[in-house]
Structures are given as C-alpha cells and as structure tokens.
Amino acid sequence: MFCLTCLALIFYFAILALFLPNQRVFLLEAIKCFWKKLTLKHCTDAFDDIIHKRFTMWLSEKKLNRLASFFADKKHFDIVVSLFGLAFVLINILLFYLLVYYLKHPCNIEGRCIIRP
C-alpha cells in the first residue's frame, strides 16, 4: 500500500537534514520505509509508526497532554502529516512557478516588479 505519510516524512526530513546532520539517519530510514511500502514488502516496524510513537512521547514529555492524546490516535497523526506534506508540495509548486516567472520576466530598471498572471 502506498504510504503518503512516509512520503511527507521524506520531504520533512530532507529539509531538516540540510541543517541538522544528526537527522540524516531519519531521512535514510524514511526512504527505506517508503521504498518497502511502495514495493509491497512487509515492514516489521514501519518508519511512520516509529515517528508517531516518538512524537507522541515527545509531546507528553513536554507536558502537552491534550496534544499527545490527540496524536495518540494514529489516524489523526497520519491526517496531520499528510496535510503538512500536501501544503509543502503546493507551496513548492507556487515558489517554482514564481521562480520561472521572474526568470522569464525580470524586474525593470526602476526596480519595480509587477506580477501579471
């Protein structure tokens, strides 16, 4: 079964691994998890389950018990991570569009940039 949560976690940990080298291990685990689920292989401990448990424990250690109890349900965790992943992809598509647009239509000499769709 295709794992949208694992794909969102790959995006998240790819950005995080750029700035925090100790998080690169999680990026490799997220890629392995996604590849195993994509090729329909059985995972003993799926990466999204491990991250779900660690995140819930982190919330409870920080005394955020209401959030921890909300995210204790795996369904809620999957929905929130998938929404953040979708938002991440949509924002990147918009930024790529703006990059291409401004490469095609640079600002004029006076420094005014006008966006025309």
Asked whether residue 44 is domain-assigned, the answer is yes
Q: Determine contact, residues 2/37, Cβ cutoff 8 Å.
A: yes
Asked whether residue 116 is domain-assigned, the answer is no
Asked whether residue 71 is domain-assigned, the answer is yes
Range of the structural domain that residue 62 is part of: 4-104
Asked whether residue 26 is domain-assigned, the answer is yes
| CA-based nearest residue to 84, from 99, 72, 71 | 71
pLDDT in tens, the chain (117 residues): 456 667 777 788 888 888 888 878 878 877 887 787 777 776 656 777 888 888 899 999 999 999 999 999 888 988 888 888 788 889 989 999 988 887 887 776 666 666 665
Q: Is the pTM of this model over 0.85?
A: no
| CA-based nearest residue to 85, from 14, 11, 3, 2 | 11
Asked whether residue 114 is domain-assigned, the answer is no
- Measure the CA–CA gap between 34 and 81, rounded to whole angstroms: 14
Domains held by the chain: number: 1
Place of tokens 């909300």: 70
